[in-house]
Amino acid sequence: MTSTDVAVIGAGAIGTSVAWRCAQRGLSVTIIDPAPERGAWQAAAGMLAPITELHYAETELLQLSLAALARYPAVVDELTAVTGIDVGYRQHGTLAAAWDAADLVTLRELAAFGRGLGLTMQPLTGAELHELEPALAPGLPGGVLAPSDHQVDPRQLHRATLRAAITAGATLRTATASVRVERGAVCGVDLDDGATITAGRTVLTAGAWSASISGLDDSARPQTRPVKGHTVHLTDVGELRHVVRGRVGGNTVYVVPRDGGRAVVGATTEEAGFDTSTRLGAVYELLRDAQTVVPMLGEARLGEISTGLRPGSPDNAPLLGPATIDGLIVATGHYRNGILLAPITGDIVADLVSTGTLPELADPFRPGRFRSEVLG
């Protein structure tokens, strides 16, 4: 039996960020993950996109996402200074391009809604679109520019954050954890290698697996589910100046350029349980739509096909804060925004652990909000 101030279940984008920020505050931290080299971050494209991920009725999430984006430059500087790793943070802006008139109406309506909320979403004609991004297909009817939606390389970000956490003193254990409950409160974790780690606070950051952790009864289990996404990683891609999001006959696709002629095309959104197999139709449709909007992708080379499981939640927003059982904090359910929200989640959880108070901007995301009685 060993003890730690904070046990973090899950070494993904969220868990490593939580561990880093807690360790920086002088807390002893143990991260536990059966496969720390795998996670949704591997398949993620890394769009930092509060604006082009805007959905009607998700305005509280928008505020959290904008705050998360504002913190990114400082976090990136800090990570780079500590680890020397270039996390691929690029501020080139995002273009949303429509394929036909109906797609354009949908984009323009959402942009008008966003502008009503004070966001910069600049409508573009087809000619303006093409001038900004010559690689786009000729003849597109128009689109929208979101200059403040940026990108990062999630694999590099994860590598840097894990290294920063360990540099700050956190320990990584490769094992499967179950939550240990004594006298009605969580007091640490039991590992499948026979060890027990007692902890002042246990933080559940297990992404799509958060609802499957053993040791919790149903009333304390976070309400997450896996939502599968395919991404296709390309090499030998010609010049792309922006992240490009296409709306093609009602389907959505994005192309995220990376340094060195690489790009990531994504992503499907599939309710397929814990299946992570590669589905041919999904890859076909992604590449078809991507090439429709950016024809030069037909000349690119196939690097890799990835699948990942986003942690979905009932309202598509994260679950952040004290669980409905003492001793446990939940930081999961980040769905399509895990990379964007990882740094701010680390700050929120470290504040909560250190002060006992959940920062105000996380208040709408308390894990108990879906239950009929107010527990969270």
Q: CB-wise, 83 or 332, nearer to ligand GLY?
A: 332
Write the CB contacts of 117 (distance below 8 Å, at least 6 apart in sequence).
Answer: 59, 62
Instruction: Please state, in angstroms and rounded to a whole number, the distance separating the CA atoms of residues 35 and 141.
Output: 46
Per DSSP, what are the bridge partners of residue 95?
145, 244
Q: CB-wise, 257 or 368, nearer to ligand GLY?
A: 257
Q: CB-wise, 24 or 307, nearer to ligand GLY?
A: 307
On the CB side of 105, CA atoms within 13 Å amount to 4
| Helix axis angle, 338-355 to 154-167, nearest 10° | 20
Given a contact cutoff of 8 angstroms between Cβ atoms, the answer to whether 339 and 264 are in contact is no
Q: Residue 43 CB, nearest distance to ligand GLY (Å)?
A: 9
Residue 313 structure tokens: 């939640």
Given a contact cutoff of 8 angstroms between Cβ atoms, the answer to whether 229 and 275 are in contact is no
Q: Residue 356 CB, nearest distance to ligand GLY (Å)?
A: 32
Q: Residue 214 CB, nearest distance to ligand GLY (Å)?
A: 27
Q: Residue 267 CB, nearest distance to ligand GLY (Å)?
A: 4
Name the site residues for ligand GLY (rule: CB under 6 A).
47, 229, 266-267, 310, 336
Within its chain, how far is the Cα of 339 from the centroid?
3
Q: Residue 69 CB, nearest distance to ligand GLY (Å)?
A: 13
Q: Residue 53 CB, nearest distance to ligand GLY (Å)?
A: 6
Q: CB-wise, 23 or 68, nearer to ligand GLY?
A: 68
User: Helix or strand or coil: residue 28?
Assistant: coil
Residue 65 structure tokens: 């996402």
Q: CB-wise, 267 or 344, nearer to ligand GLY?
A: 267
Q: CB-wise, 3 or 269, nearer to ligand GLY?
A: 269
Given a contact cutoff of 8 angstroms between Cβ atoms, the answer to whether 267 and 42 are in contact is no
